[in-house]
Amino acid sequence: MPSPVCFTRPLALALVLQLVLVAAVCRLGSCDGPADRIRRLPGQPEVSFEQYSGYIGVDDKSKRALFYYFVEAEADPATKPLVLWLNGGPGCSSLGVGAFSENGPFRPSGQVLVKNEYSWNKEANVIYLETPAGVGYSYSADAAYYQGVSDKMTGHYIPQLAEVMVEFNKKDRIFNLKGIALGNPVLEFTTDFNSRAEYFWSHGLISDATYRVFTSVCNYSRYVSEYYGGSLSPLCARVMNQVTRETSRFVDKYDVTLDVCLSSVLSQSKILTPHVHNADVFFCAFATSSSRSGRASTSAWRTTVRYLNRKDVQAAMHARLVGVDKWAVCSSVLEYELLNLQIPTINVVGSLVKSGIRVLVYSGDQDSVIPLTGSRTLVQNLAHDMGLKTTTPYRVWFEGQQVGGWTQVYGEGALSFATIRGASHEAPFSQPERSLVLFRAFLQGQPLPETFS
């Protein structure tokens, strides 16, 4: 949950309450003709489920509103769970990334939308929320709001939002929160960021000598702290230059096995440091075929950007642009307090588990930005500190007739970790079928498949 600038605790609750009420009313069949109902998206194939989108006001004083997109489950929506999906970034769109690139019902293709056969609304009703204000169609009419916003990515604001809901339920039980799932999250700054060195080295991206200085002379967490603190030492600068030179700007750090969009990389005027989103390289991840052919192109993400900037699409979704000229995948107007990443949330995850909320931490195993090794270590240490016994030893799980990844479960499913084999930082995009299997098992509270199907 972005805080404290984006949401105060009452505003966070008000937002979730409004989203839940919107979804509940629609699921009860009382949404015939409301203002937020989407009659039909331009170029959309025929579907049997309903869709809604519009704005939730979160601050009348500064005229802040967050844009949501709600899709009913494909079948029996009244009996299916409700899922809130949030993308991190920082400042990247749950609509453009989550809904239209990862696990939503449609993917833009040319001038039309094509059906995503592995959409998560096969299993649940899903709300995609563009947050904080300044991301996508969400906005604030007060331009001063955009200065110093705290966006701590999904590993921070999802556990924090869940914690607020649990606290609220102690007084007035409204939320029937069952669990949270965190994909490639930042849970503890030092562990998560420093796991990059081992990941780079184990995948051949850096040499033995560079690995040694990257772990002993200046590790990644120190480098980030110095960089964002405005006091980058010559020593850390030299180490990071050495790491950057060896890993190369021609490798997509969000999926180390995929080719980057070469033309986009060459067109940049300077090499961006690895901790900053290199937007053109990042977006190439969305453009690469999930068949993993290695032939990257910018056409897919450009198609998404073009689609969501179409006036007829914005009209159909009841969206408007306020304070920006166009919709963008990641915000260009927000100035983030990025050192808030140092605030740990692994302790919040522990308190949620104690409260009876199931927690799944999953990792695309080709992501070097928030590597699986850090997440796995944090989950394992948390389980140990809480006295949770291992109820499923580390093992493979299957999707179809292939290994889908690896998993380990603690405390009879209270806390679990899983990898998605061959997946990037945006796992549902690069491995949609395996991600859907993981999602289905999580919702049903069932173990991941142990055998071939």
270-307 residue pLDDT tens: 333 333 333 333 333 333 333 333 333 346 778 899 99
How far, in Å, CA of 418 to CA of 396, rounded? 9
CA 179 to chain centre: 16
Q: What is the DSSP letter of 342?
A: G
| Residue 262: per-residue pLDDT | 57
Q: What is the DSSP letter of 94?
A: I
How far, in Å, CA of 86 to CA of 98, rounded? 8
Ranges of residues in the chain with a pLDDT under 70 are 1-33, 62, 147-155, 261-299
How far, in Å, CA of 88 to CA of 97, rounded? 10
DSSP bridge pairs for 181: 360
| Residues whose CB is less than 8 angstroms from the CB of residue 300 and which lie 6 or more positions away in sequence, other chains included | 101, 107, 108, 286, 287, 288
| Residue 285: per-residue pLDDT | 36
Looking at this protein, which amino acid is placed at residue 248? S
- CB distance 350 to 386 below 8 Å: yes
How far, in Å, CA of 149 to CA of 152, rounded? 10
Among candidate residues 71, 23, 83, the one with its CA nearest the CA of residue 47? 71
| Residue 286: per-residue pLDDT | 39
In degrees and rounded to multiples of 5, residue 384 shows phi and psi of -65, -45
How far, in Å, CA of 329 to CA of 280, rounded? 11
Do strands 415-420 and 106-109 pair parallel, antiparallel, or not at all (unpaired)? unpaired
Domain positions in the chain: 190-306
Q: What is the DSSP letter of 96?
A: I
Sort 322 into a burial class: Cβ within 10 Å, 0-12 / 13-18 / 19+: middle
How far, in Å, CA of 67 to CA of 202, rounded? 41
Q: How far apart are the first and last CA of the chain?
A: 38
How far, in Å, CA of 205 to CA of 211, rounded? 10
| Residue 13: per-residue pLDDT | 47
| Residue 26: per-residue pLDDT | 54
H/E run at residue 193: helix 189-202
- CB distance 417 to 184 below 8 Å: no
Instruction: Name the residue with tokens 């070469």.
Output: 262
Question: For residue 440, what are the CA distances in angstroms to 123, 128, 155, 289, 450?
Answer: 6, 18, 21, 23, 14
Give the 3-state secondary structure percentages of the chain, helix then strand then coil, rounded to 5: 40, 20, 40
How far, in Å, CA of 147 to CA of 144, rounded? 6
- CB distance 394 to 408 below 8 Å: yes
pLDDT, tens digit (0-9, with 9 covering 90-100), for 84-119: 999 987 788 999 999 999 999 999 999 999 999 999
377 token code pair: 């270590």
How far, in Å, CA of 363 to CA of 261, rounded? 24
DSSP bridge pairs for 140: 64
Sort 300 into a burial class: Cβ within 10 Å, 0-12 / 13-18 / 19+: buried
| Residue 154: per-residue pLDDT | 57
**Beta strands in 271-430, from DSSP E residues, in sequence order:** 358-364, 390-399, 402-410, 415-420
303 token code pair: 């198609």
How far, in Å, CA of 217 to CA of 148, rounded? 31
- CB distance 187 to 344 below 8 Å: yes
- CB distance 323 to 143 below 8 Å: yes
3-state secondary structure of 392: strand
- CB distance 110 to 303 below 8 Å: yes
